[in-house]
Amino acid sequence: MGRASWKFKNLSFTNLIISTFKPKPKIQYPTGKKYKLSAGNNIDNISINPVPFLLIKPSGLKHKEKIIKILKDNGVVILNEITIFDYRSLANAMFDNVKIKEQQYWFYILETQYDKSINNHAVALILEDVNLEKLGAIKRNIRKTIGIDFYKIFLQDKWQETSLTPIHSPDEDRLDKEFTAIMRYADYTG
C-alpha cells in the first residue's frame, strides 16, 4: 500500500488535508545516532497463548482515556493493561519488518518531540477475544479520531516525510510474534 493510500485509510478527511498541506516539524537526524536496545525479560520457559491486544505507543499515551472509551464504545472488553517501560526495545522486537534505520529515527523523534516522562513508554491493552479484522477497523477509526503525528526528517541529503501512529494492533500472521514481544518487555514489578 502506497503512502497516499495508507493516509486515506487512516486519516479523517480533515486530517488528510492538513497532513498534505500543513508544514510538518523538521527534524535533523544526527549522523551515527544509535539507541541501545535490551533483550527484555527471559520468558523462554513460559508458555504463552497469544491474545488480541492494542498497543498505545508513546505518541498516543496523551489520548489513552479517549482510546479506551472508543474501544469500549465498540464493544471491546479490556482484560488487562500492561505497562512497557522500554518502548524502543519492544518496537525493535515487534516491528522487525521495519528497517532498523527507520526505527532509530522514530526513536529520535520520540526523544526530541515528546515529553521525557513518556517518550520511551507504552501501554498494551490485553483484549477479550476480538476478531483482528474488527480490531483493525477500530484502530483505523481511532487514528482518524485522534490523529497521527507527521514529521519531516532529514535523511540521506533530503527531507522525507514520516509519521508516528498513536496505536498498533496486530495482523493475524504477526499475533504470536508481537504478543510474545509484549510479554518480553512487560513491566512485572507492579
Identify the pLDDT of residue 190. 54
Residues near 91 by beta carbon (within 8 Å), at least 6 away in sequence: 57, 103, 106, 107
The Cα 149–Cα 184 span in angstroms is 27
CB 124 within 8 A of CB 84: yes
**DSSP 3-state percent helix, strand, coil across the chain (nearest 5):** 45, 20, 35
Per-run averaged pLDDT (10 residues), the chain, 190 residues = 78 82 82 83 80 96 97 96 95 90 90 93 95 95 95 85 93 93 82
Which residue bears the cell 513518556?
118
Structural domains in the chain, sorted by start = 3-30+48-185 (3.30.70.141)
The Cα 73–Cα 70 span in angstroms is 5
Residue 66: strand, helix, or coil = helix
